[in-house]
Structure 1
Amino acid sequence: MKLSVNHAVRRRATGAVLAALLLGGGVVGCSKGAGDQSPALTPAAAVAKAAKRTEDITSLRYRMTGTVPGEGRVSGEAAMSMKPLAMSMKMTAEDQATDGPVEIRLVGKAMYIGGGLKAAKEMDGKSWIKFDMSALGADKELNTDQLGGGQADRNPATESTFLTGSKNVKKVGSETVAGVRTTHYRGTVTLDDFRKSLKGQDKATREKREKALDQYTKMGVRTLTMDMWIDGADHTKQFRMRGTADKGPLDMTVTFLDYNKPVTVTAPPAKDTVDLAGMMKGVQQG
């Protein structure tokens, strides 16, 4: 088994993790409520009400498509549970030479990345790489920043609240999204304005949203154009985020399939898995 090959697989898979987890960051809860929102709600109030709903999300399932800075076009589908934390997603990097979707599973304090058949041929038939958070020094808290993800340890609904910092939210119209009647809203928001809008929030909410905001600051994004499609039950059915980062354009659309339903994620078979921590230990001893 070649360490250089594993690094290549890890690099390719980590790109998919970043795309999936970063832009799963646009996720907000969906519901099966029908009909447009109450006409009595102003656009700003409608967006604020939908943002408030994100605080109660315990699990969700969604699909995504778009462009990630530095990675190109991506698409995928994911399911996530917040408590206990668990995740399963399949991502395809359409502009990269891969042998198919990359699958990511988060189980307990371990993240598993499946590199596909090509990776298996280069890793003695093993198609999964295991990143054990405890063995990699993240036993106090799940810290996927070590893998380039940086999003798996928090509710991915948070980024949807950015639109509450916009000063020009407007109603675009009524549209049907994935069979659900919605009201479409759009606005632009600078990251500075959103940060200022957090002053009136409670400490826990403010810290969570500031943490989400920091990743976009690090990307070099200063202004976002955001769209939200909100259903009759005041949940967001679809979300789009556009902006310019240091490494290129950001443009992701996330459509929500369900939420607050049981999510079960299992680890891949041990016989198909390479333990990165064990491998690194062997290299150091060697």
Structure 2
Amino acid sequence: MNKSAWKRAGVALTAVVVVSGVAGCQDGGDAKGAAPAAPEVQNHGDVTQVIQAAYEKTSAAKAAKVRMTMTMEGLGAESGTIEMTGVQGWAPAVMDITMKSSMLSAGKPGGPEQMRMIMLDQVMYMDMGAKQAAEMDGKRWMKLDMRDAADASGDKALQKQMTGGLDNMNQDPAQQLALLLDSPDLRHIGPEKINGMMTQHYKGTLTFEQMLKANESSKVLSKEDHDKLIANVKQAGLKGYDTELWVTEDGYPARMDVGMTMAKGTMQMRADYTDYGTKAAVQAPPAKDTVDLFEMMKDFGKNSDEG
């Protein structure tokens, strides 16, 4: 497989991991009318009640259509804009999205600028395109099965971390709302119209430590590794996640914006969801059309040793 294909796969995985770690908003769909009756600025108790209710509704919805935009600046080769649209489910965790970004073309004129990605049963599938399929015996889907890689390692702690990490790629968005309740400065900004709907606007900041605490895969880290990770993040200049949330009169979040500022650059993500409760009928591509990434890596390792 050529270098540009590896880069496209890397961009795709990076985008999904980042988005799933911070995404957690839903759109009110057909909700119309005025914003819910509320004081000009809600007190902390009112805010907590609204976010708690949004958490319960989002959790019960189980799936929605999603539209996300992520912009990275000042991060060298990782800088650029990524757009993702499709369907996401979180009970069970599934995803079928199309990602568009000039980053996928790997600097090649005329290269593909979009990729379809499917996640199902802890396996990620990435459509590498017809041109790449010609170099892989007609198999255009790259398969990434974290369970197989974890089992091959023989390390139980690593197995738990790797499979938990894939779950977090499609983390229950309701859990993001629950996490926002822990923000020490969560506050109500006021009414605002978003996507044609009247909403109430909220804002808060989460520390990296709070996000890490909520991440299941981080719980297998030793204290030494945990402290080292915190130190490295602080060295990178990441202090926390600035989060903004808009909630419709129906009690569903309509939008979430998340911003991260680091010493070398910034990342901004906006997520809008529609069609709560939509059927997430996600299907894996046929096995005959897939190539296993880890099996391919094993072959590369054997060829390298023989060389």
Displacement after TM superposition at 1:234 (Å)? 1.6
1:138-157 Cα deviation digits (max 9, x unpaired) = 599997958x8662353134
Structure 1: distance between partners of 2:265 and 2:166: 18
Q: Which amino acid aligns with 1:101?
A: Q
Say if 1:144 and 1:114 are closer, same or farther in 2 by CA, change over 3 A.
farther
Percent identity reads 24
1:212-267 Cα deviation digits (max 9, x unpaired) = 99999675532222111100122101000012136631210000112222101122
Match of 2:35 in 1: 36
Say if 1:85 and 1:171 are closer, same or farther in 2 by CA, change over 3 A.
closer
Structure 1: distance between partners of 2:151 and 2:265: 31
Say if 1:142 and 1:223 are closer, same or farther in 2 by CA, change over 3 A.
same
Structure 1: 5+ residue stretches without partners: 196-205
Match of 1:137 in 2: 150
Structure 1: distance between partners of 2:253 and 2:247: 4
Structure 2: distance between partners of 1:130 and 1:144: 19
1:67 aligns with 2:80: no
1:114-160 Cα deviation digits (max 9, x unpaired) = 122442344344321112344323599997958x8662353134334
Q: How many residue pairs end up in the alignment?
A: 270
Q: Which amino acid aligns with 2:182?
A: G
Structure 1: distance between partners of 2:298 and 2:288: 19
Match of 1:78 in 2: 86
Structure 2: 5+ residue stretches without partners: 107-111, 220-225
1:275 aligns with 2:292: yes
Q: Tell me which stretches of 4 or more aligned residues in structure 1 moved more than 6 Å.
A: 139-144, 212-216
Question: In angstroms, what is the RMSD of aligned CA positions?
Answer: 3.7
TM-score by length of 2: 0.71
The farther-off stretch of 39-48 and 109-118 is 39-48
Say if 1:260 and 1:246 are closer, same or farther in 2 by CA, change over 3 A.
farther
How does 1:88-237 map onto structure 2 within 5 Å? 88-98=96-106, 99-137=112-150, 145=162, 151-152=168-169, 154-191=171-208, 194=210, 209-211=214-216, 221-237=238-254
1:259 aligns with 2:276: yes
Displacement after TM superposition at 1:283 (Å)? 4.7
Match of 1:198 in 2: none
Answer whether contact 2:102 2:113 (CA < 8 A) is retained.
no
Answer whether contact 2:26 2:58 (CA < 8 A) is retained.
yes
Say if 1:59 and 1:246 are closer, same or farther in 2 by CA, change over 3 A.
farther
Structure 2: distance between partners of 1:213 and 1:44: 29
Say if 1:110 and 1:20 are closer, same or farther in 2 by CA, change over 3 A.
closer
Q: Considering only CA atoms, is the larger Rg found in Structure 1 or Structure 2?
A: 2
Match of 2:109 in 1: none
TM-score by length of 1: 0.76
Say if 1:89 and 1:143 are closer, same or farther in 2 by CA, change over 3 A.
farther
Match of 1:241 in 2: 258
Structure 1: distance between partners of 2:18 and 2:160: 14
Structure 2: distance between partners of 1:150 and 1:245: 26
Q: Which amino acid aligns with 1:156?
A: P
